[in-house]
Amino acid sequence: MAKRDVVAAIDIGTTKVLALVGEVHRSGDVSLTGVGSSPSRGLRKGMVVDIDATARAVQDAVQKARRMCGNPVKSAYLALAGAHMTSENSKGVIAVSNRGQEISVADVDRVLEAASVVNIPSDREIVHVLPRHYIIDGYDGIRDPIGMAGSRLEVEAHIVTGSSAGLQNLYRAVERAGIEIEDVVFAPLASGDAVLLQDEKDLGVVVADIGGGTVDIALYSEGSIAQSAILPMGGEIVTTDIAVVLRTSLAQAEVVKIDYGYACPDMVPDGLAFNVPNVGGQGIRDISAFNLAQIIEARMREIFSLIGETVSRWTSWHSIPAGVVLTGGVAATRGIERLAEDVLSVPVRVGIPEGMGSMQDMAGVPSFSTGVGMLYHAGRGLRSEYQRDSQPYQELTKRVKTFLRELF
């Protein structure tokens, strides 16, 4: 069989809910087959404030994706973000239990469990224990210790936690929409998987997913995630500033931001202008796109300054030679790379997800990064299952070949 499973991913953002459906090949590759999007009404700063409204938005997005692909969607992978998510680094160490000192899957599970023994408040829970690298008998930088020999196994891990109430409200909204949660994925991790190159992860890079209500940041070093944070601000504050200054509605401010917005005023074409109605629709005024760009630039500079301050608390920018990769809906703003480079003084590019086949034109945009990254995560998980399923067959084939060689 070329394909084995249909998988779905749900990214519940502050401004929209995105549902993606894909088919996973035995190689682990994913073909995107369905897309659905719905305005998000029940979230603030990535936190659910209205379970019923969120459930309706999820249901609507999933139904749209289902109609496009023609496959039923009963379960999905869910992105976790929101201002309540935090992270920290931890270490774990164990003695290898195998008499032959060959490190097994059970040893890896035990050392990750040891790393997860951290002091967190009773109202929070661990959602991910992400290994950064392993150390065997003092030798570090090991990414996969299974099958290697050693007596002492250590791990440096990145621990992601979330508010128990915040997580439960999100889970209930999805379940109320009739969707079973297959697994959860930390949003910055999913975005990184979708838009970062392996060389960037190895050298050192920051991915910043700028959404409507939050900025999801992850620092990668030596091939794995080293630090992460979620800032409680995003494109919504830019839209609000536009609405206030231009004295128009939030909906109209969002439209002009997308249609005429630039992050750098000096990039605006000469004479570019647009009409905007006053709040309540009384009267229409001509607005210069240059003035709009000044509003956007001021708030985006603030966002990039906060990103810079956050990363500076983790490490020196000199240790991040690959610079910053911007993604998320706000990353589609014209001129955003140039403004970010000006503020952060490092190389900047806009990351878009690749490998979506015939639907690349639709999905190859920054706002799809988290959703596509979750499909990649699902593909890797199913590929591991395929490999485990095939191991008994491979062992049998090996024994048969050995028997035939000895016989003849």
pLDDT of 274 reads: 94
The tokens describing 181, both together, are: 């949660």
Strand partners, 209: 216, 327
Strand partners, 216: 209, 230
Alpha-carbon span 327 to 336, nearest angstrom? 10
- 116: closest CA among 139, 137, 94? 94
The tokens describing 355, both together, are: 């490998």
Half-sphere exposure of 141 (CA within 13 A, CB side): 3
pLDDT of 115 reads: 96
pLDDT of 1 reads: 35
SS3 349: strand
Kindly report the CATH number that applies to the domain delimited by 86-161: 3.30.1490.110
* Domain ranges across the chain: 86-161
- 78: closest CA among 49, 46, 53, 109? 46
pLDDT of 381 reads: 67
Average pLDDT per 10 consecutive residues for the chain, totaling 408 residues: 72 93 79 92 87 96 93 91 92 86 91 94 94 93 92 95 95 96 94 95 97 95 94 94 95 95 97 90 87 97 97 95 96 97 97 79 87 88 53 53 54
> Is the Cβ–Cβ distance between 9 and 19 less than 8 Å?
yes
The tokens describing 203, both together, are: 């050298």
C-alpha distance from residue 81 to each of 12, 50, 170, 229, 231 (Å): 9, 16, 10, 10, 10
Model pTM score: 0.88
Alpha-carbon span 276 to 256, nearest angstrom? 8
